[in-house]
Amino acid sequence: MQVSAWRIAMFALAVATSAAAQQATPLATLVDEAKTQNSSIAAADHAARAARLVAPQKSALPDPTFTLQQFSVGSPRPFAGYSNSDFAYIGLGVSQELPYPGKLRLRAEIADREADTKVVETLALGSDIAGAVKADYLQLAYLQQTLAILVQSRDLLDQILADATERYKVGQGMQQDILQAQVERTGLTREVTMHHQEVSAIQAHLKGLLHREQSSPDIIPVDLAETPLQRTGVELLAMIEKQNPQVQIDASQVRKQDAQLASAKRESKPDFALGYQYENTDRKYRDYYMLTLSLRLPRKKRVDAEIGEAVEMLAQSKATLDAHLQQQLAEAQQAYVKVTGDAELLKEYREGLVPQSEAVQRAMLSAYGSNKEQFTRVLQSFASVLQLKLSYAQTLQDHEAALVRLETLTGATLR
């Protein structure tokens, strides 16, 4: 028996030492890690860099064309008549297409606006992934807190069950009381097991976001605590238009469609082609020199259709921007109401409901020990305290999750 007790003590010491060795990781550290290590962000960043290289291609003149000609006279054989006819020649020429002034600049501007959109999309993706990391982290912290509540409650229930068993042995209790307590304990054990399973799933998802090996040590969150909201609702709503990722993407699309419309209008102007050719007719005859200027006239029907399409696309972009702006404002307002409402509820739990219920529980346990209280009422009090503590933890997690949502919507740092 002494050896068994010694082994149990050593095992408990090893577990405590292992837990102490694993330090809690601040949320900000994980967010920074995700932004630098996440593969999706890296892929979007490369796409944005590639998009920046499109504008120089669009602004460059079309490739020049060099021509070598050989004109025969009297026979299809190469160089036939070259030495006895002033019509046979060897010619060298070059030609260059010249788009109407401003066309290339506007095409490059469209590419620049597209690149701007890619950059904003990359930032929005980073914001979304940061929000996912924060959500997983908060859920882990919540499960860590509720797991401690469940384990502590199970230990208390074990004590209550032991007291009830001793009373039953001396004829002061009923077997039904013991059975009821055992059922309650089984429920707690099931909740603890489900917590462990949920923690494992969240750890896997979070490690994926951080690009960590799944076999790497689990992430230990800092204890969940209430974060006061320092911004007013008006301030938060004002940030939406300036800093909301989706609104910024839509605004970038509007600027792109503006450039697209300007380019479509410019496409109605003619393009030119300039060519020059030198023709050598052997030294007996005079050489030829040819300068060519070509003019390409765009078809009005096609250009009008392009302009009409650009007008409609611009209108669509503006309507999409407004729709998303209203949606983001509504979500921000809902999150703000959630944060402020939960803050009041947390205060009620912290200063009233939880301490009062714990005081009632202590009084009932004391009365039960003196044979002045029924076991059923003690068990009801136990379940009530447990539920209030779990509700407090859930409200705290909801409060912090709403703050995270506000951070994603506004682009501000609130936690």
CA atoms of 321 and 327, how far apart (whole Å) = 10
Percent of the chain clearing pLDDT 90 (strictly above): 62
Identify the domain containing residue 295 by its residue range: 25-410
Average pLDDT, stretch 141-149? 91
pLDDT of residue 81: 78
Provide the b/e sequence for 227-252 (b: ≥16 CB within 10 Å).
Answer: eebebeeeebbebbeeebbbbbbbbb
Q: Is 274 exposed, middle or buried (0-12, 13-18, 19+ CB in 10 A)?
A: middle
Residue 171 confidence class, pLDDT cut points 50, 70, 90: low
What are 294-350's pLDDT values in tens digits? 999 999 999 999 999 999 999 999 999 999 999 999 999 999 999 999 999 999 998
Cα 107 to Cα 54: distance, rounded to the nearest angstrom: 10
What is the reported pTM?
0.82
In a domain, 10, yes or no: no
pLDDT class of 208 with cuts at 50, 70, 90: very high
- Output the domain CATH number for residue 110: 1.20.1600.10
Question: What does the DSSP 8-state code read for residue 170?
Answer: T
Q: What pLDDT, on the 0 to 100 scale, is given for residue 172?
A: 66
- The verdict on residue 17 lying in a domain is no
Q: How confident is the model at residue 16, as a pLDDT?
A: 41
Please report which helix (H) or strand (E) contains residue 69, including its range. strand 65-71
Q: Using the predicted structure, report yes or no on whether residue 20 has a pLDDT greater than 80.
A: no
pLDDT at 19 over 50: no
Q: Is 7 part of a structural domain of the chain?
A: no
What is the token pair recorded at 196? 């462990």
* Amino acid 77: pLDDT: 84
Does 6 reside within a domain?
A: no
Task: Give how many domains the chain has, as a whole number.
Answer: 1
Which pLDDT score is estimated for 28?
Answer: 92
Report the chain's mean pLDDT, rounded to a whole number.
87
11 found inside a domain: no
Q: How confident is the model at residue 1 (pLDDT cuts 50, 70, 90)?
A: very low
